[in-house]
Structure 1
Amino acid sequence: MTVELVGTAEHPPPTGEFATLYAQAQRFYAHQMRLLDTHDTGRWAETFTDDALLHLPSRPAPVRAHTALEDYARAGAARRRSAGGSLDHWVGLLDVRPQTDGSLHTRCSALAYATPGRGGPKALHVYVMEDVLVRSAGHWRIAHRRVTRDDLA
């Protein structure tokens, strides 16, 4: 049986260029979440543009730029360390949509799970992340991120 890949305007068939962009987006998220999980808050903040906006379900207003992002991540890291164990993230179901301006609009699910000092991991939250990735100094960076709880997305 032969399966033919047919694309639509919304979902074009895979091409070499698209496959490269998709792989770059996957690597970006693997790297970014690892920085967050290891509390490398400075380098995590650098994965955002200087004027980036980050909308979070727990905050009434978006968090702006590197300093605020780094402060936000550092406070979260301190809370996790004081609680013991670790908090890690898994990103999947990645959808990548290249835009005519060269940016990538992405949507993915992010699972936050805790690994306490004893026992196995426990899923805490599932989120939907919608990002606009742009090229900056040769790297993908987030210009805008909206995080929504999956049960409210």
Structure 2
Amino acid sequence: MPVELVRTGGDPLRNGFPALYAEMQRFYARQMEFLDTHDTGPWAETFTEDAVIELPSPAPPVPARAGLAHYVRAGAARRRAGGLLDHWVGMLDVRPQEDGTLRTRCSALVHAVPDGGGPPVLYVYAMEDVLVRARGTWHTAHRRVTRDDLA
């Protein structure tokens, strides 16, 4: 079901914003589930072909889909070592833009899932995305990730 985007000066409650916000919550829940389970095909498909991710490191931004290979190797190594990571996304802010894109900002907690212990929080991130709608679904075109302890 298409959602009418809120334009500047519009009433977000009359223009479908609650449905759009719920759609964004589902989008991030699925995207993080694909990431945490290393389901790389569906995870990559949540990004545009030319998407870029800016990570909290001195390295330059990386193409999202090409950068996936590194994550797959690191995730497989963690799994072999018995450690998993889990991402929790919250405090989502969704801002429709005049050009039909969405700008979102959320907090992401990354915690380790140890065998037999409580999951310690490893990192707290802020994720700022630009989302575009293509083929009836939303895709991340640009992601900027900042880590609170490195800001």
Q: Give TM-score scaled by structure 1 length.
A: 0.86
| Contact in 2 for aligned 1:41/1:73 (Cα 8 Å) | no
Give aligned-pair identity as a percent. 62
Work out which of the residue numbers 120, 123, 144 in structure 2 matches 1:122: 120
User: Which position in structure 2 is the counterpart of 1:29?
Assistant: 28
How far is 1:77 from its partner?
Answer: 1.2
Letter in 2 for 1:19: P
Q: Which residue of 2 aligns with 1:55?
A: 54
Partner of 1:6: none
Unaligned runs of 5+ in 2: 1-7
Distance 1:143 1:109 in 2: 18
Map of 2:74 onto structure 1: 76
Instruction: Map Cα deviations across residues 99-121 of structure 1 (whole Å, 9 max, x no partner).
Output: 01111100000000011112111
Quick one: distance in 2 between partners of 1:137 and 1:14? 26
RMSD after superposition: 2.0
1:18 counterpart residue number: 17
Relative to its length, the structure with more helix (as a share) is 1
| Matching of residues 94-133 of structure 1 within 5 Å | 94-133=92-131
Question: Over residues 21-50 of structure 1, what are the superposed CA-to-partner deviations in whole Å (9 max), with x where a residue is unaligned?
Answer: 111111000000000011101211111000
Matched-pair contact (CA < 8 Å) for 1:55–1:63: yes
